[in-house]
Amino acid sequence: MDSAQTRKMLCQVALGNAPADTVITHGTLFNVFTREFISDQSIWIKDGKIAYVGPDHDPARSEGTDVIDAQGMVLLPGLIDAHTHIGSTKSTTDEFVKHVIPGGTTTVVTETMDLHFAAGEDGLKPWIKGFKDQPIRIYYTVSTLCGLTASEEGNVLSSEALEHKLKDPHCLDLGEV
């Protein structure tokens, strides 16, 4: 389904003309812009995308619609950890993810400098590949330096390697510049 069809389908769900796949009801929504807690809110989801967030009312449903009663629970958007160092946590990416999901983190941007210093580009490749099979989104930045002294700069990425990494959609930018 292309993006125009997806938008049309989400609009139909939001208008109540098409059934949602999942309906979350009776939740207290945290508005991150106004810092308000708003009671009796619902979220309608279709094909893994949010079609509606707002006051509870009766949405279109089918026999396959999952209904989740969130009474007494707070609904909040997925949180983004915009700068972390997974490579220096002394845990695997899988273990790191297990600890951040319960806090509501759905996206992480990690720096690669620490691991790159220790393992070089060959060490980065399998680590970065492992980001793609996680239940959250993990993006990374690449560093133009590896350490603070000349001896630590032995593993610095070449211009060609930097250019290649920056073309990866999971690489957002240069980090720790």
| 55 and 89 housed in the same domain | no
Residues 67 and 148 in one domain: no
C-alpha–C-alpha distance, residues 145 and 52, integer Å: 45
Strand order in the sheet with 105-111: 79-84, 105-111, 137-143, 171-175
Tell me, yes or no, whether 90 and 151 share the same domain: yes
| Mean predicted confidence (pLDDT) in 37-62 | 94
* Alpha-carbon distances of 4 from 1, 11, 17, 60, rounded to whole Å: 8, 11, 17, 21
Based on the fold, state whether residues 148 and 161 are members of the same structural domain. Answer: yes
pLDDT digits (tens, 9 = 90+) for 121-148: 788 888 889 898 899 999 999 877 656 6
- Indicate the residue among 75, 106, 137 that finishes a domain: 75
Which among 158, 156, 164 is positioned nearest to 112, based on CA atoms?
A: 156
Which of 30, 55, 75 marks a domain boundary?
A: 75
- 64 and 135 co-located in one domain: no
19 and 94 assigned to the same domain: no
Grade residue 154 by pLDDT with cuts at 50, 70 and 90.
low
Residue ending a domain, choose from 75, 101, 116: 75
Range of the domain at 28: 3-75
Is the pLDDT confidence value at 176 over 90? no
pLDDT class for 25, splitting at 50, 70, 90?
A: very high
